[in-house]
Chain A
Amino acid sequence: AQKITQTQPGMFVQEKEAVTLDCTYDTSDPSYGLFWYKQPSSGEMIFLIYQGSYDQQNATEGRYSLNFQKARKSANLVISASQLGDSAMYFCAMRLNSGGYQKVTFGIGTKLQVIP
């Protein structure tokens, strides 16, 4: 069965510093996608970045980059130059493409707090 693991329940980072949020996954399916979402205190889920299992290069979106290590089955999120507005819950998610269906499952989340 597919599984997403986020081992850091909470993280602190100084404003303007970089931070890495860990995510490991487990699947035997060769075709999958990995996502990161941000959930601020207001509750909405905001899509941040996507990495496909066949993508050769690590995904980047502005200050967000995904450190994809396929052999280790890890997809860590790196946030550069942290801002106070980055304080939120961050969820790693995996979408499987087996049989043409797209089941998306989430990790338990990491709470990031940016300190001024």
Chain B
Amino acid sequence: DAGVIQSPRHEVTEMGQEVTLRCKPISGHNSLFWYRQTMMRGLELLIYFNNNVPIDDSGMPEDRFSAKMPNASFSTLKIQPSEPRDSAVYFCASSRRTGGNTEAFFGQGTRLTVV
């Protein structure tokens, strides 16, 4: 398996522009997580899906952020409009929903810079 695939790896955009981050989870995984990593706040859970359904979006910072999972193999995180304080590394992770050692597998991350 190719692992969790995120695109793009790097994104530089101007303040006010819309940004869309993409994630393809590992086939067969039915939980998907979006995280944001910054020096100040560490790894923050933004939202997670189970069987394509958003379960908890309490970590989404504000209405400018939205996430969708239209099917089991694709998810997007959208920021509209983007602001400089959104600059961070955004990780997508997936896991199987079974008992035992179901660790989350992470993508390589998208480094977002908003100027």
Contact = CB atoms under 8 A, between A and B. Distances in A.
Interface stretch (A13-21, A80-88, A95-103): A95-103
B101 A50 contact: yes
Interface string A77-116: 0000000000000010101000011111111110000000
Nearest to A105: B45
A35 B45 CA distance: 15
A105 B106 CA distance: 13
Contacts, number: 61
Interface of B: 31, 33, 35, 41-43, 45, 48, 50, 55-56, 89, 91, 93, 95, 97, 100-106, 108-109, 111
A106 B50 contact: no
Given A47-B103, A102-B31, A102-B102, A108 B42 contact: yes
B108 A44 contact: yes
B109 A95 contact: no
Contacts of A47: 103-105
A11 interface: no
Contacts of A104: 33, 45, 48, 93, 95, 104
A116 to B, nearest CB: 26
A52 interface: yes
B97 A102 contact: yes
**Chain A interface, DSSP helix/strand/loop, else mixed:** strand
What class of interface size applies to chain A in its complex with B? 20 to 34
Given A45-B91, A100-B50, 17 more contacts: A43-B89, A44-B108, A47-B103, A50-B101, A52-B100, A91-B43, A95-B102, A101-B56, A102-B95, A102-B97, A103-B55, A103-B56, A104-B48, A104-B93, A104-B104, A105-B45, A106-B42
Contacts of A100: 50, 97
A91 B95 CA distance: 17
Nearest to B35: A106
27 contacts: A44-B106, A47-B103, A47-B105, A52-B101, A91-B42, A91-B43, A93-B104, A95-B102, A95-B104, A100-B97, A101-B48, A101-B50, A101-B97, A102-B48, A102-B95, A102-B97, A102-B102, A103-B45, A103-B48, A103-B55, A103-B56, A104-B45, A104-B93, A106-B35, A106-B42, A108-B41, A109-B43
